[in-house]
Amino acid sequence: MDGSLDYYGAKALLEWQIDLGVTETISESPINRYEVPEKAPKPVVAAAPEAPVKAPEVDPVAEAEKMARAAASLEELEAALAAFPHCELKKGARNLVFARGNPAARVMVIAGAPGRDADRAGLPLAGADAGLFDKMFAAIGLGLETPDTEAAIYLSLVLPWRPPQDRPPNPAEIDMLMPFVARHVELADPDILVLMGNTPCLGVLGRKGITRLRGQWVEAFGRPALPIVPPAQLMNKPLAKRDAWADLLSLQAKLHGRD
């Protein structure tokens, strides 16, 4: 016998050993399992995953200031707003709503943010708000569509995108976009500003409470500014229309140098 076994022979031998009661194999030389090896093997340690590289934090206000300052015209300012990547409101809005009226007007009205109708139309005011706005200013001889700069109005917004469900803009959103508002005023260069509602008062003056602020002349961006109640609020509080009329007469007097 040459000592070599084929598969079937080895299998038969193994089965015979199992039948005899063999439960484990023993090597030819004894093994001391309590013996400590001279040099223990080094444990294998998995390499720690590399920490993700953090993108540098961007100050959205500083970025807005940089982009707004680079705009040399109203058209470039609108394009800069469209390219501004840090305001989440733009993701849920249909349109960027920039301005309406004659940019050479003596009076620039700054409203808050577009509502549903304004967002759909792409205009600062639309629907019933726009109708009441037109009637209010027409009563003192001013309008959005007139080419006469003495009788024209230029209407803009603090936020060009509609907030979800028409909620009030939060302070962070207002602060983020104020550099564009400041540059808008600088480029249009009106004689008088009208701050229409709480959002522009908070952004420009750092205060809100339009029912307390309305009718009081202040200074903003180096020119006289008048806070007034917005049309939507007047529609809900008809008695406030008397105060609104007084504010419009005050604006008319200021335009004609009778303050």
Tokens of 172: 């962070």
pLDDT (tens digit per residue) in 156-215: 999 999 999 999 999 999 999 999 999 999 999 999 999 999 999 999 999 999 999 999
Identify the H or E element spanning 194.
Answer: strand 192-196
Q: Minimal CA–CA distance to 223: which of 76, 110, 144, 84?
A: 110
pLDDT value, residue 72? 98
Q: What share of the chain in percent tops pLDDT 70?
A: 80
pLDDT value, residue 57? 81
Q: Average pLDDT of the chain?
A: 88
Which residues have C-beta within 8 Å of that of residue 218, sequence separation ≥ 6? 205, 224, 225, 226, 227
pLDDT value, residue 82? 97
What are the two backbone dihedrals, phi and then psi, of residue 153, each rounded to the nearest 5 degrees?
A: -125, 145
What are the two backbone dihedrals, phi and then psi, of residue 247, each rounded to the nearest 5 degrees?
A: -65, -40
pLDDT value, residue 29? 66
pLDDT value, residue 129? 85
Q: Point out the least confidently predicted range of 11-25, 50-64, 224-238.
A: 11-25
Confidence of residue 58 (pLDDT cuts 50, 70, 90): confident
Q: What is the mean pLDDT of residues 121-150?
A: 92
CATH of 60-255, one of 3.90.1150.10, 3.10.20.30, 3.20.20.70, 3.40.470.10: 3.40.470.10
- Over 80: is that where the pLDDT of 90 sits? yes
- Over 80: is that where the pLDDT of 3 sits? no
| Type of residue at 67 | M
- Over 80: is that where the pLDDT of 148 sits? yes
C-alpha dihedral sign at 189, 192, 198, 204: positive
Confidence of residue 1 (pLDDT cuts 50, 70, 90): very low
- Over 70: is that where the pLDDT of 28 sits? no
pLDDT value, residue 26? 66
Which residues have C-beta within 8 Å of that of residue 156, sequence separation ≥ 6? 98, 99, 108, 109, 110, 111, 124, 181, 184, 188
CA distances to 156, 163, 175, 214 from 167, rounded to whole Å, are 19, 6, 16, 22
> How is the chain split into domains, by residue range?
60-255
pLDDT value, residue 23? 67
Q: What is the mean pLDDT of residues 13-22?
A: 70
Question: Is the pTM for the entire model greater than 0.85?
Answer: no
β-pairing verdict for 223-228 and 218-220: antiparallel
- Over 80: is that where the pLDDT of 9 sits? no
Please measure the distance between the N-terminal and C-terminal CA atoms of the chain and give it in whole angstroms: 128
- Over 90: is that where the pLDDT of 68 sits? yes
